[in-house]
Structure 1
Amino acid sequence: MVAISSKFTLAEYLSYTDGTDTRYELVQGELVAMAQPTGVHGAICEFINDAFRPEIQQLQLPLISKQELIAVQTLYINNKITCRIPDVTVITLEQWESIKFCEAVLKETTPLLVVEVVSDGSRNIDYRKKRVEYNAIEIPEYWIVDFSDRKVTVLILKNDLYEEVIYGDQNKIQSELFPKIQLIPKEIFSI
C-alpha cells in the first residue's frame, strides 16, 4: 500500500480524485491506497454480506448491510483524521438515510458490526490497528475473517474492551447482533 504524504482534511479526502479507480483510506491525514482485493477476498465479503441480509429480514431489524461502500471515521488526533472502509458494514436504516445522498461516511455515529477480511498486506492493520480504532469508537461487534489461517475472530465490546472468540472450520459463529445466524467458517472458506 502506498501513502500520499500531504495531510488531508476530511473534506479534501472526500473530494480527492487522482483520475484512476484507486480507492483510498485516510490514515492520520494521509491517503493510503487500498490494494486491489483478490477474487477470494471479494467472494468472502460477498458471502458474508449475503448471509447478513436474510438475518436482517427474518428478525425484521431496521438495519442494512453494505459491502465496501461505507467509510467510518475512527480517529481524530491532532487534527489528523482516520477513515476506514470496512469490507462489510452493518448500520441502522436511520444511519443509511443520513448518508444515502452524500458521501457515505459515518462521522458521528458508529456501525453496529464491521467485518474485515484479512489479506497478506493487511494482517497487522486488521488484527491490531483497526481493532484499536474500532474499539476507540465503540463499534459493538467486529469480525476478522482470516482465509489463510481458516478462522473467524469475533470481537464483542464489553466494558469498553473487546473480548474475542476464535472460530475454526466447524465451529458455529456466535454473533450478538445476529444471534440466530447459522454460519461456520468452513462455509465461508469453501467459496
Structure 2
Amino acid sequence: MTIATDRPRQQKPLSVDEFLACYGSDNRYELIDGEVFDLEPTGLHEEVAAFITTKVCVQIDGIGLPWFVLQRGLLRPSNSGMTAFRPDVMVVDRTELTQELLWPDQSILTLGSSIKFVVEVVSSNWQNDYARKVEDYAALGIPEYWIADHAGLGGTRHIGKPKQPTLSICTLVDGEYEIQQLRGNQTIVSPTFPGLKLTAEQVLRTGG
C-alpha cells in the first residue's frame, strides 16, 4: 500500500466527505488521518484475498450464521472525521446493520460491532497493517484480525528474521490483540471460524 500518486497531488489533509467525493467510487484507495493511500491490489494480492473469502464463505454457509463477506467496503470509525479504512475482507453481521445509518445508501460501516472478522493483505506500506490498524481495529472491538503477509514485507519486529511469508492471527482479549505468527505448515486456529482446516502456507500461497 502506497500513498496515492496517480490522482491530482494532495495539497492538504482530506476529510472523509472530501475523500468520498474524490475517491469514493474507486475501491483501491483508503484514507488514514487525512492522507490517501493506494491499496496496490496486484494479482497476487487479490489471489490471497479471494482464497480467504472463499474459505470463510464456506464456514458461514455451513454454520448458517447471519453473516456475509464484504470485500473493500469502507470502514469509517464513527469517532474519526479523517479516516476511512478499506479492509480486503470483512465479515459483517447482518443483525447489526440496523444500527448502521449509512449502510442503506452506501457500502460504509461505522461500528465495530457490525464486524466479526477482518483481513488485510500486506502491500509495500506494511506499517499501517501492522501498527495503526492493529490499534484501531482493537479499539473498535473487532474480535479477530488477520494480517496476510504473503511476500514477507513487514518489518523484522513483526515477522522475524529472516523475513518470510507470515500470517498473523490477532485475537481480541481484554480490549487488545494477542498476536500469533504462523508460517509454513503451521495450522490456523481461528476463534471465529473453528471449523477452518488450513495452514498458513495454504492461505499465503500465490501463483497456482
Q: TM-score band (shorter)? A: 0.7 to 0.9
- Pick from 14, 25, 29 the counterpart of residue 30 of structure 2: 25
Q: Which residue of 1 aligns with 2:128?
A: 125
Q: Which secondary structure does the structure 1 equivalent of 2:181 belong to?
A: strand
Q: Which residue of 2 aligns with 1:115?
A: 119
Aligned mates of 1:180, 1:105 — CA distance in 2: 29
- Pick from 144, 147, 156 the counterpart of residue 171 of structure 2: 156
Q: Is the 8 A contact 2:91 2:117 kept in 1?
A: yes
Instruction: Classify 1:25/1:173 alpha carbon distance in 2 versus 1 (closer, same or farther; 3 Å).
Output: same
Q: Is the 8 A contact 1:75 1:81 kept in 2?
A: no
Q: Which secondary structure does the structure 1 equivalent of 2:84 belong to?
A: strand
Q: Which residue of 2 aligns with 1:2?
A: 3
1:100-146 Cα deviation digits (max 9, x unpaired)? 64221111344111101112x22111111111111121211100111
Q: Which residue of 2 aligns with 1:14?
A: 20
Q: Which residue of 2 aligns with 1:71?
A: 74
Aligned mates of 1:115, 1:26 — CA distance in 2: 17
Moved over 6 A (4+): none
Q: Percent identity?
A: 29
Aligned mates of 2:27, 2:194 — CA distance in 1: 36
Q: Which secondary structure does the structure 2 equivalent of 1:83 belong to?
A: coil
Mean Cα deviation higher: 82-91 or 32-41: 32-41
Give me the CA root mean square deviation: 2.4
The TM-score normalised by the length of structure 2 is 0.79
Q: How far apart are residue 21 of structure 1 and its match?
A: 5.0
Instruction: Classify 1:178/1:15 alpha carbon distance in 2 versus 1 (closer, same or farther; 3 Å).
Output: same
Q: Is the 8 A contact 2:144 2:169 kept in 1?
A: yes
Q: Which residue of 2 aligns with 1:168?
A: 183
Q: Which runs of 5+ in 2 are unaligned?
A: 5-9, 152-163
- For these two proteins, the number of residue pairs brought into alignment is 185
Instruction: Classify 1:58/1:152 alpha carbon distance in 2 versus 1 (closer, same or farther; 3 Å).
Output: same
Q: Which residue of 2 aligns with 1:89?
A: 90
- 1:139 matches 2:145: no
Aligned mates of 1:143, 1:130 — CA distance in 2: 11
Aligned mates of 1:9, 1:95 — CA distance in 2: 26
Q: Which has the higher strand share?
A: 1
Q: Which runs of 5+ in 1 are unaligned?
A: none
Q: Which secondary structure does the structure 1 equivalent of 2:82 belong to?
A: strand
